[in-house]
Each structure stands twice: as C-alpha cells, then as structure tokens.
Chains A and B, each alone.
Chain A
Amino acid sequence: MSRRPYLRKVERNWWLGHRRTITYMVREATSLFVAIYCAVLVLGILRLAQGRTAWDSFLSGLSSPPGVLFQLVCLAFVVYHSVTWFALTPKAMPLTIRGEPIPGSVIVSVHYAAWAVISLIVLIAAWI
C-alpha cells in the first residue's frame, strides 16, 4: 500500500484562533505605530532645518486636536510594545551572578528603571 500523506493548509486567519497569537499580532502591529512616530520625529528635524516658520507650523500641527489624538494613540501602542517586550527580556538575557540565576523580575525591573531614568533625562533636557 502506497503512502499518501495529507497536509492541512494554514488558513489566512490562523492568528485569530488563539489568544496568544492574537496578542502576538497586536504586538507586531504596534511596531507600525513606533515606525510612524519615528518618521514624524524625523520630519520635525527637517522642518526645524527649514527655519522658524516651518518649525512653528510643525509644532502647531502636533498640538492641534488631531495631532494630540495621534500622539495619544502612538503613546498607547508604544507603551504596549515596551511592556510586552520588557516582559520577555529575562528569556533573551538570562543573567547569573556566581552561578546563581538572577530572578526574571529583577531583570524586568532594571529595564523599567532604565526607562524611567532615560525619560527623566530627556524631560529635563527638553525643559532646559
């Protein structure tokens, strides 16, 4: 009797079937918003180089209601992206001190601490 293996097709909507693949796809989608926000920052630098009028119109665009809404949406997605990424860091970076593994919670906390410190420095720099 000859063999006749049957391969089931992966559906286009495969990721809807499971909670973990849905959260994964959401995390992947957040990258788009990270990229878009980066593009806006680059645009800001270009406008700054074009002089005061260009820079002021860029700023007023950002502080208009659609601009604020855009930034809030980006903030939400970036926070989701960062939180899920930090949660995964102990897997990518298992550290040991003299053979004793450092608990994952410590590795995650250090990332949050670094995030807070860097944000603070940026805020202070923006203030000055």
Chain B
Amino acid sequence: MTDTMPLEVLTLEVLTLEVLRYRPEIENEPKFQTYTVPYRDDWVVLDALNHVKDHVDATLSYRWSCHMAVCGSCGMMINGEPKLACHAFLRDYRHGVIRVEPLDHFPIERDLVIVMDRFMEKLASVKPYAIAKAEKPLEEGEYLQTPLQLMAFKQYTQCINCLLCYAACPQCGLNDNFVGPAALALAHRYNLDSRDTGKDERADVVASNEGIWECTFVGACSEVCPKHVDPAAAIQQTKISASLDWFKARLWPGAHP
C-alpha cells in the first residue's frame, strides 16, 4: 500500500543535507551546498543523496554501488566521521544538519568523489596475493588448509577497500607516503596465510619507515572500519613480528644480515 503512495504524503518531516561540492570546471575550491530531503525512518544517507540526484540536482556526483556495505564505494565523511553512506541511517542524525563531505586525506576529483590512485599504488606495493615459492603441479591437488590455519587470518580478508581507515588515520593525512592501514592489514593477511611464502618480498615496503613504523597506534582505523578488520591490530602484530625478524637476521647463528 505504502509503496504506491507518493513520497510527500508519507513524510512531512524534512532534513537538511550540507554537501561539500567541487566542480573543477566552474570553481577553484570546494564549497557547501544545502539540500532539503524528506526524512524516512528506513533511509540511509545514500538514499538521501539518491533523492537529491533523482529529484533535486542531477549534477551531484558520488560513488555508490551495492547499497549494502559490501562494495565499499560510498565512503564519505558524515558529520566529520568516515562512514559508508549506505550504513549511516538518517534516524541517527535526526536532530540537526547532516554534513556530507568527501573522505578526508584524499584529493577531491569532483563533489564527493575522491582520487584513489595513490591508494591503488600502495595496495599493489605490498603484493596482496598469495605467493608460493614453487607452484605445485596440478595433479598434486589443492593447497589444503585447516580451519585453524584459516582462522589465523580470516578477519583480515574482510576488507572491502572502502578507505574509511585512511580518512580516519591522522598519519595518513600528515604523510601521503604512509602505506596506510588497509594495505598493511592485507599484507598481514597474506603473511599469516599458511599457503604464502612472500613475507620477505613484502618486508621492504611493510617493515619500512613509511610502512608499519609510520603508524603511531592512534587506533582510529579500527574504530571506523565497517567490516571489523581491525587494521590497528594487524599493524601492531606486524611490528612485533618485523622486530623479531630484524633480530633473528642479525643474532641467529649463520644468519645473513
């Protein structure tokens, strides 16, 4: 029944969205634009943006895809906190204005769309894939793994590259060369994988000054992560393991520094 009713009948309450806009062809710096959107109990900020795009201002640009916190496309700053727009219910911001900005610490391409090229480079630099010393012939079958071996790293496989952690991390804002939480968590994920032998290959990037040692354990990445990956934990564990490797390489009998 309600599905066929026009929106205006369903809702009288409205909300104000303040959206940071940047249109490089007409303006030199971003500025806020205010939109009024209908309030609905089951709407998320992404629904409100879609409403604006469909009914108010078709020029507004933002990324989104799945609307269910799986694709990681719709990360943005909502009232100063990095969030997935599909995961931020209007009912939690009912009193007051909702301020929507592109993710912090990234260059703005247009409106809420950020440039993520640097992140893609950093991600590739940690070789986030299983590296086997020698490929097994096909007839020897799969690379088997016990449930315990899987449990060792499963949490770190949940990353959807939404970049909320980069927007939350002050170190990412202060040093653009910091490899950053998501990439380091993924490196840790493969280092922990029993099928992987690529730890040494990753160490040059991971265990460098601008890898794990740039992290000062603010912990913000883990607080904002929508998939509970806990990158802060991954980085601290990597610090311990990299320190042990450093000492082993120098103190172990027969080790080559």
For residue A30, give the distance in angstroms from its CB to the closest CB of chain B. Answer: 14
For the complex, is B29 an interface residue (Cβ under 8 Å from A)? yes
Are A10 and B173 closer than 8 Å at their CB atoms?
A: yes
B105 touches A10 (CB 8 A): yes
B218 within 8 A of A: yes
CB distance from B243 to the nearest CB of A (A): 11
Q: Give the distance in Å from the alpha carbon of A5 to the alpha carbon of B117 in the complex.
A: 12
Q: What sequence of 0s and 1s flags, for each residue 14-47 of chain A, a beta carbon within 8 Å of any chain B beta carbon? A: 1101101100100010000000000000000000
Contacts A6-B107, A21-B170 given; indicate if A88 touches B217 (C-beta within 8 A).
Answer: yes
Q: Does B220 have its Cβ within 8 Å of any Cβ on chain A?
A: yes
Bound together, the chains give a CA A4 to CA B222 distance in angstroms of: 32
Assess the A94–B237 pair: CB atoms within 8 A: yes
Residue of B30, B115, B218, B233 touching A91 (CB-CB under 8 A)? B233
B151 touches A99 (CB 8 A): yes
| Interface size of A as a range | 20 to 34
Interface residue tally for chain B (C-beta within 8 Å): 31
Within 8 Å by CB of B236, from A20, A91, A99, lies A91
Chain B contacts for A123, CB-based, 8 A? none
> Are A6 and B22 in contact (CB-based, < 8 A)?
yes
Question: B38 at interface (Cβ–Cβ under 8 A)?
Answer: no
Report the minimal beta-carbon distance from A97 to chain B, rounded to whole angstroms.
Answer: 12
> B240 near A: Cβ within 8 Å?
yes
- Known A-B contacts A10-B174, A17-B80, A93-B240; A24 and B24 likewise in contact (beta carbons under 8 Å): no
Q: Does A3 contact B (CB under 8 A)?
A: yes
Convert B99-136 into 0s and 1s, putting 1 for each residue whose CB lies closer than 8 angstroms to a CB of A. Answer: 00000110111000001000000000000000000000
A106 at the B interface (CB under 8 A): no
Distance (whole angstroms) from the CB of B102 to the closest CB of chain A: 9
Docked Cα-Cα span, A28 to B170, in Å, equals: 14
* Contact flag A20-B240 (CB < 8 Å), given A15-B170, A91-B230: no
Contact A5 B230 (CB under 8 A): no
The answer on a CB contact under 8 Å between B30 and A6 is: yes
In this assembly, does B11 line the interface, its C-beta being within 8 Å of a C-beta of chain A?
no
For residue A18, which residues in chain B have a CB less than 8 angstroms away from its CB? 80, 220
Most buried by B among A1, A7, A24, A91: A91
Contact A94 B233 (CB under 8 A): yes
CB-CB under 8 A from B174, the residues of chain A are: 10
When distances are taken between beta carbons in the complex, the residues of chain A under 8 Å from B42 are none
A14 CA to B9 CA, complexed, in Å: 44
A99 to chain B, nearest CB (A): 4
Query: Which single residue of chain A is at the shortest CB-CB distance from B155?
Result: A94
A52 within 8 A of B: no
Return B110 CB to nearest CB of chain A, in Å: 9
What are 30 A-B interface contacts by the 8 Å CB criterion?
A: A1-B25, A5-B24, A5-B115, A6-B22, A6-B24, A6-B29, A6-B30, A6-B107, A6-B108, A8-B104, A10-B173, A10-B174, A15-B170, A18-B80, A18-B220, A20-B219, A20-B220, A20-B223, A21-B170, A21-B220, A24-B170, A24-B216, A24-B220, A88-B236, A91-B230, A91-B233, A91-B236, A93-B237, A94-B233, A99-B148
In addition to A10-B105, A28-B216, 11 A-B residue pairs with Cβ atoms within 8 Å of each other are A6-B22, A6-B24, A6-B107, A7-B107, A8-B104, A8-B108, A10-B174, A15-B170, A91-B219, A91-B237, A94-B237
Interface residues of A (CB under 8 A from B): 1, 3-8, 10, 14-15, 17-18, 20-21, 24, 28, 88, 91-94, 99
